[in-house]
């Protein structure tokens, strides 16, 4: 059974020239890119995307960071795509994410960890609707 997930290459990843690296890993794994767009988020869209974190002390920083420059939004499709991409991304804290993962290879700070991937099929459906409202 195929599944979809919403992936972001965050502004730090775009600034550092990691778009190609992330997409290469996704394609090498066998996940299919079924939608893709480069855009800069406004604050309202960022707050909607990260709504689950609205009470956390880092929420302001998170919204500021994710709106700080262009990001790449993608929808990936494949068997257990949510879990498959989270495995490619590595743990949230880049110091703890394994070498060989996107975050483990490219990041050091939790606030700037290169990529986002939905954490469940339900989150994926919600997030895909925010980024690609008319596509699926």
130 near ligand DAT (CB under 6 A): no
Q: Contact with ligand DAT (CB under 6 A): which of 19, 23, 36, 62?
A: 62
111 near ligand DAT (CB under 6 A): yes
Give me the least distance between CB of 102 and ligand DAT, in Å please.
Answer: 11
Part of the chain binding Mg ion (CB under 5 A), chosen from 39-47, 59-67, 112-120, 125-133: 112-120
Give me the least distance between CB of 43 and ligand DAT, in Å please.
Answer: 16
CB atoms within 10 A of CB 55: 6
* 4 Cβ neighbours under 8 A, 6+ residues apart: 34, 75, 76, 77, 81, 121, 124, 125, 128, 136
Helix then strand count (H, E) for the chain reads 7, 4
* Cβ pair 51, 97 in contact under 8 A: no
Annotated binding-site residues for ATP read 10, 58, 86, 92, 103, 113
Positions that interact with ligand DAT (CB under 6 A):
53, 58, 62, 92, 110-111, 113, 116, 119
């Amino acid at each position: 059974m195929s599944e979809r997930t919403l992936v972001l290459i965050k502004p730090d990843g775009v600034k550092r020239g990691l778009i190609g690296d992330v997409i290469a890993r996704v394609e090498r794994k066998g996940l299919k890119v079924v939608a893709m767009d480069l855009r800069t988020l406004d604050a309202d869209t960022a707050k909607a995307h990260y709504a689950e974190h609205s009470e956390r002390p880092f929420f302001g920083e998170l919204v500021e960071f994710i709106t700080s420059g262009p990001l790449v939004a993608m929808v990936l499709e494949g068997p257990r795509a949510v879990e498959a991409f989270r495995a490619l991304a590595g743990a949230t804290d880049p110091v703890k994410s394994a070498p060989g993962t996107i975050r483990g290879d490219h990041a050091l700070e939790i606030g700037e960890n290169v990529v986002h991937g939905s954490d469940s099929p339900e989150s994926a459906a919600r997030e895909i609707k925010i980024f690609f409202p008319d596509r699926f």
